[in-house]
Amino acid sequence: MLPATTTVEQLRRAALEAGAAGVAESSPSAIRCRVPASEVPALADRLAALGARCQFLAAADTRVTGGDFTLAYVFASAQLTPSVTVLVSVPAAAARFASLATRSFAASRFEREIHDLFGLVPEGHPDLRRLALHQYWPQGYHPLRRDVVSRTDFVDTGEAFPFRRVEGEGIFEITVGPVHAGIIEPGHFRFSVEGETIVNLETRLGFVHKGTEKLFEGLALDAARPLAERISGDTSVGHVLAYCQAIEALAGCAVPPRAARLRVVLLELERIYNHVGDVGMIVNDTGFAFGHAHCFRLREELLRLNERLTGHRLLRGAVVPGGVTGPITTARLAAAATRVETLVAEFAAIVRLCLDNTTVLERLQGTGRLTEQTATEMQVVGLVGRASGIDADLRRDAPFAAYGETGVHVSVYGTGDVWARTMVRLDEAREAARLVREVARLDTPGIVHVPVPPLAPGAHAFGLVEAWRGPVWHWVVAGESSTLGRVKVVDPSFRNWPALEHAVLKNIVPDFPLCNKSFNLSYSGNDL
């Protein structure tokens, strides 16, 4: 968290002292500037003294217009406000930039991704193993460069990924995946164990990398919306809302108040059905099938409610640039709020029954503990962070949609174990039901959509949403004729997968599924 005395003006002064140019306010709590590439580490140090660390880093191929690549950094606290957006030019002839990996764990991951997808080299990075691309990608082939030519000569050379090795007497290695026994996406988990105790875990993802950000290039605004909804199937509203907010910020488009309130309802409905399903899966991994069966019965009821309200079980098609559309615009919100309250109350009763069972409780408490210190150092976000004592939620800290009208109570726990992550889900489901009721109370007739003006080519803006897992970022750079030049997406799963490796340490192998379910990270959201 930023020190209580930190202000936007202090962040502005820090940027100016680091040689920033073009410093300007993009909102009352955010500034933008340009900084020479050589001064980024010094700026990062100045901002760190004020509590702001690198929370976002993306690259764009701007060689056609400027003869260079552009890096966009966002520095902020865990609450993501106030913030500093920094643009940095990287000459195409010397495609290298100073790494912040030793200053920010999040930056280290973003830099590895940029190295894979753009071929820009973060100088001083301690670990440049491939992250997004696997061994069958040809050397020197960087798919997000605008002049890249599609290739089909991908050959698995058989060169193994350089996993960390743990040596010692009695240490054994267990490999799991990437293909799993259940109907889930692929991911590889490599355990080093002493007996049944986990002493090291390393994950390898990217097996379902879909080229999503490449698919956005050149799309018209309406054509891109369905793609945004499908980035991670269980976060349809979270991603499309972040995308639409970025487009609306680019166009200077104010969404009608009623549309903003309906967006709150949609986002909270998505939060509830995911939290209910997750708790069911968590208690199922303790062997308590009763809780699992009832949670999934309630989840089905919630999905059917989604379909009645929007025409789609996963709430797709309702959020569009400029507002909302479809059945939600004429839905009876008071009746929907009553149904949600009934289902969430039943969910809470089931959770109490589960936690009254000592077998369940003993499996949850103390298992998969992620300490506040580790979570802070690894810049963990969302519900996993809140379960580890990080008091951050964009709905309260930087309100979007109509959250400024409703207010949000943020649930924070300090133990960082599976129990805490379960309790955060329960509390957030209850708060979501309250928010739906509050929107129903505030709802008044009004328009729900406005046209989106043309976008200025080269302009860029952020859409930032607190989805059910945590913050979803969409950074959009406008192309020609109101098309998309660049869309950078960050799902909270990208930020949190490495923390799972720490949470399972000193736990036994049979508790890994329980820890994994309590994080419930998205493979698809990570493998963009």
Q: Name which of 156-165, 166-175, 336-345 the model is least confident about.
A: 156-165
- In the chain, the percentage of residues whose pLDDT exceeds 90 is 82
pLDDT band (50, 70, 90) for residue 66: confident
Q: Which residue has the higher pLDDT, 240 or 481?
A: 240
Measure CA 385 to chain center. Answer: 12
**Three-state DSSP string of 427-445:** HHHHHHHHHHHHHHHHCCC
Which tens digit of pLDDT belongs to each residue from 348-403?
Answer: 999 999 999 999 999 999 999 999 999 999 999 999 999 999 999 999 999 999 99
pLDDT band (50, 70, 90) for residue 153: confident
> What architecture is domain 220-492?
Orthogonal Bundle (1.10)
pLDDT band (50, 70, 90) for residue 134: confident
Listed in order, strand segments (DSSP E) in 216-307 are: none
Three-class secondary structure of residue 173 per DSSP: strand
pLDDT band (50, 70, 90) for residue 5: low
pLDDT band (50, 70, 90) for residue 180: confident
Neighbours of 519 (CB within 10 A): 24
Residue 1 has a pLDDT of: 46
What is the enclosing helix (H) or strand (E) of 304? Answer: helix 289-310
Q: Apex CA 228: angle with CA 227 and CA 231, to 5°?
A: 85
Which tens digit of pLDDT belongs to each residue from 504-519?
Answer: 999 999 999 999 999 9
Q: What is the mean pLDDT of residues 83-106?
A: 95
CA neighbours closer than 13 Å in the CB half-sphere of residue 155? 2
Residue 120 has a pLDDT of: 96
Pick from 305, 306, 336: nearest CA to 318: 306
pLDDT of 135 higher than 90:
no
Q: Give span(s): CATH 1.10.645.10, the chain.
A: 220-492
Answer for the pair 125, 108: CB distance below 8 angstroms, yes or no. yes
pTM (2 decimals)? 0.95
Match domain 8-123 to its CATH number in 3.40.50.970, 3.40.50.11540, 1.10.3720.10, 3.30.460.80: 3.30.460.80
pLDDT of 2 higher than 50:
no
pLDDT of 17 higher than 50:
yes
Average pLDDT, the chain: 94
User: Highest mean pLDDT range out of 20-34, 137-151, 408-422?
Assistant: 408-422
Q: Give span(s): CATH 3.30.460.80, the chain.
A: 8-123
Residue 53 has a pLDDT of: 95
Answer for the pair 525, 208: CB distance below 8 angstroms, yes or no. no
pLDDT band (50, 70, 90) for residue 285: very high
